[in-house]
Amino acid sequence: MTETESARQPEIALSDEDRRGLYRTILSRRDVRGQFLSDPVPDEVLARVLVAAHYAPSVGFMQPWSFILVRSPEVRARVKAAFEAANAEAAALFPDDQAASYRALKLEGILDAPLNLCITCDRDRAGPVVLGRTHMPEMDLYSTVCAVENLWLAARAEGLGVGWVSIIEPARLQDILGLPDRVVPVAYLCLGKVSHFLAKPELASKGWRQRLALSDLVAMDRWGGDAPDPELARALDDAQAWAEAGG
């Protein structure tokens, strides 16, 4: 047996049940702002969702992420104030007809969720030259986002809600959390058990914006190239209908 063969995974295909679990998780994941319960997140569950993040892909295997678990009420109060300041600025940018509905949306659960979590990217984690990052320097940030998405899916499967707070000035987060200049706060997340998950994304059910048709987003070989052939277009529409029904 060669070294490569011995390093093969026992089976190529995951089971149909595994696949179903993945799709059910992806399709029922939500950005949670208003349904948090105050129960603490058990250590074992928190550990599993952090492991899911840590097993994300990373450019040059640099694993640039760190996880700051924010339980301190003082730190959270400062983050909440930073959100409030940014949100007032943001609301003023929308045209009048949108500004009122913007202000009616609940956009974060910083104080409601039992746990906040900042996922950061240390841009120097693997030294100055990183395999795969020399022409796309942002690949370390993108790797960190893959970790965020893995954590989000694992949280959903564990019955935990996650909300990503992006209405915040990164420089203020940097200051509040004491991040060195080389460390970027990629995602500030609210995390916790929830009373329920919504059936549809909140921004869709509140009329902010609707899901696009996938088949309109696919082109062949170049931007503005041929649309998918009729068989693929039908498969895309069928798959989206299946997804809308919950997978």
Residues 50-79 contacting a second copy, CB under 8 A: 50-52, 54-57, 59-63, 65-72, 75
Nearest CB to a second copy, comparing residues 17 and 38: 17
Residue type (1 letter), 147: A
User: Which position among 43, 96, 97, 181 is part of the footprint of a second copy (CB under 8 A)?
Assistant: 43
Distance CA 21, CA 27 (A): 10
Indicate whether 138 belongs to the interface with a second copy (CB under 8 A). yes
Q: Which two tokens stand for residue 179?
A: 């991040």
| Minimum CB distance to a second copy, residue 195 (Å) | 8
State which of residues 96, 104, 181, 217 lies at the interface with a second copy (CB under 8 A): 217
How many chain residues interact with a second copy (CB under 8 A)?
Answer: 131
Coil, strand or helix at 94: coil
Residue 207: C-alpha distances to residues 29, 35, 202 (Å): 19, 19, 8
Nearer to a second copy, 81 or 159 (CB): 159
Restricted to residues 101-130, the positions that interact with a second copy (CB under 8 A) are: 102, 105, 107, 120, 126, 129
The answer to whether residues 66 and 183 touch, using CB atoms and an 8 Å cutoff, is: yes
Smallest separation (angstroms) from a second copy to the CB of 27: 6
Nearer to a second copy, 110 or 139 (CB): 139
As a whole number of angstroms, the longest Cα–Cα distance in the chain is 69
Of 190, 157, 219, nearest in space to 23 by CA? 157
Among 113, 139, 189, 190, interactor with a second copy by CB under 8 A: 139
Using CA atoms, how far apart are residues 164 and 35, in angstroms rounded to an integer? 14
Give the one residue of 1, 22, 104, 111 binding a second copy; rule: CB under 8 A: 22
| Nearest residue to 168 (alpha-carbon basis) of 42, 82, 77 | 82
Q: How many beta carbons lie within 10 A of that of residue 147, not counting itself?
A: 25
Nearer to a second copy, 100 or 166 (CB): 166
Contact 107, 189 (CB under 8 A): no
Binding mask 154-193 for a second copy (x = CB under 8 A): x-xxxx----x-xxxxx-----xxxxx--x--xx------
Of the pair 19, 100, the CB lying nearest a second copy is at: 19
